[in-house]
Structure 1
Amino acid sequence: MEGRLNKSLAIAAVVVALLIGFLVGGIADIGKRLFGGADPESVVDSSLQSMHAQNRLVPFVARFVSVTSSKQEKFGLSAERTLILPGTVRYELDMAKIERDDLSWDKATKTLSVELPEIEIAGPEVDLKAAREYGSGGILSALSNADTQLDDANRGLAIDDLRKQAGAPVPLHLAREAARQAIERSFAMPLNAAGISDAKVVARFGDEPKAQKPSYLDRSLTYNQAIEEARKRRAGETTK
């Protein structure tokens, strides 16, 4: 009885294995048909069309806080106001700007090189509910609209400050790395699905040397690592 049971289980296991094999093979075959077979050029063209359809990629979002102060003096009196304003900035990549000429497939090394357009900064989107204003002009505020003028001035300064923070080297570096890895994965996954499992994808921005290989699929920098790298570069420049 036990032997028959084991035999039945063994047969069932073989049947399940065959079904799984047929299923996996079918999925692989569908993937090859969808991406034009195992031809990497066809896979890359299909991936690029898909990216163009998505239009814009938002690989990184950052939140900054600006603290600005404005002062006004009139009639021998003075008034001062301080504004604390948080804002969110999106770092976007216009994938429609990636042209076919920006892609290069090296058959010998099975490496796809991708040249990326520059990151675009959208925003800031200010959080008015979280904004805080402090200060008092005393007599000057009572006699004029000094507080309103100071608040308007502070808002303009705060917007400019948030944009300046967003364009600083560290957040830009993090946004670039996030965009680079997203694009590399977007090209690598279809290549793998088409059966080119050992393909590599290297994305770089236009201002980076072509000989440089700034990132592969498994590269990732944390915020602290980016800060540390920047510190080491500054230390190296100082010792020269």
Structure 2
Amino acid sequence: MDEPFLTTDRPTVSGSGAPPLTASSPRAPALARVSALPWLLFLVVTVIAAWLAWRQFRPADIGDPLATSLIAFEKQDKLTVFSAQLAPVVSSDDARLFGLVKSKQVAVIPARVDYTIALDQVGRDRMKWDAANKTLSVRLPPLTVSRPNLDEARAQYLREGVWITRDAQDKLTRDNTRLAEQIAVEQAGNPVLMNLARGAAKEAIRQNLAIPLQVAGYGEVKVVVLFDGEPNPG
């Protein structure tokens, strides 16, 4: 009777002479650490790269709201907030040859007047930030009214006189121009026009300040604009 084929539990020997590695082998943890090392290095490099990218492209610190507001003004010395088109009606008289030759000229000369705010005068001392209510208060200096810009090319003239010399006509025109400028200045200071200009100035300043603050991360803010001499609301 043939003997049964016997097998043994002895591990086979590899060609190198080293025993195979098993879970109970003392070399298994070391090999596991070696295998995990590339992944750890990759993770570290990834974290460092992400941190550098965040540092490079992270949103800037919100910082000081007053400084943010002043930056909105720093590139503008003045801001034109309103323009008025005027049409002064003036007249001048001229007499020559001992009063024997008289002439008169009536003129309608269109004029434009600009109302501006001197932004270079609006400093930190004219601003106040209420963090609790997210409200920025700004006090503006008085409006500046420009010198009238007369459009004599579109002027209309009506002359009276039997004989108007060239010298007389030139004098009448110069006199009417001077008078038209004076009247335009008076008209520009009319309370109705001044109130319209102040309202336009407040709205322009609100827009110039609210948008940069929103972009800087303050969200919806309230901008209260007043002129010197105006009482605080409430």
The TM-score with structure 1 as length reference comes to 0.67
Q: 2:227 corresponds to which letter in structure 1?
A: F
2:130 to 82, 103, 106: 106
Output aligned runs, 1:148-187, within 5 Å: 148-187=170-209
Provide the aligned length of Structure 1 versus Structure 2.
177
Q: Is residue 203 of structure 2 the alignment partner of residue 212 of structure 1? A: no
Structure 1: how far apart are the matches of 2:68 and 2:133?
21
The Cα RMSD (Å) is 2.2
Contact 2:102 2:161 in 1 (8 A): yes
The TM-score with structure 2 as length reference comes to 0.68
CA-to-partner distance for each residue in 1:17-50, whole Å, 9 max, x for gaps?
xxxxxxxxx9xx86x51xx32x4xx132122133
2:94 to 69, 72, 91: 72
CA-to-partner distance for each residue in 1:146-172, whole Å, 9 max, x for gaps?
332222111110011111111111111
1:97 match: 121
1:145 match: 167
Contact 2:148 2:185 in 1 (8 A): yes
2:219 match: 197
Contact 1:55 1:96 in 2 (8 A): yes
Matched position secondary structure for 1:193: helix
Return the structure number with greater helix share.
Answer: 1
4+ residue segments displaced more than 6 Å: none
Q: Is residue 147 of structure 2 the alignment partner of residue 123 of structure 1? A: yes
Structure 1 segments unaligned to the other structure (5+ residues)? 1-25, 214-240
1:88 match: 112
Contact 2:92 2:172 in 1 (8 A): yes
CA-to-partner distance for each residue in 1:111-165, whole Å, 9 max, x for gaps?
11100011111131111210122113214x34x8333222211111001111111
Contact 2:87 2:110 in 1 (8 A): yes
**Larger-Rg structure:** 2
CA-to-partner distance for each residue in 1:39-74, whole Å, 9 max, x for gaps?
4xx132122133022221111112111110112344
Matched position secondary structure for 1:88: strand
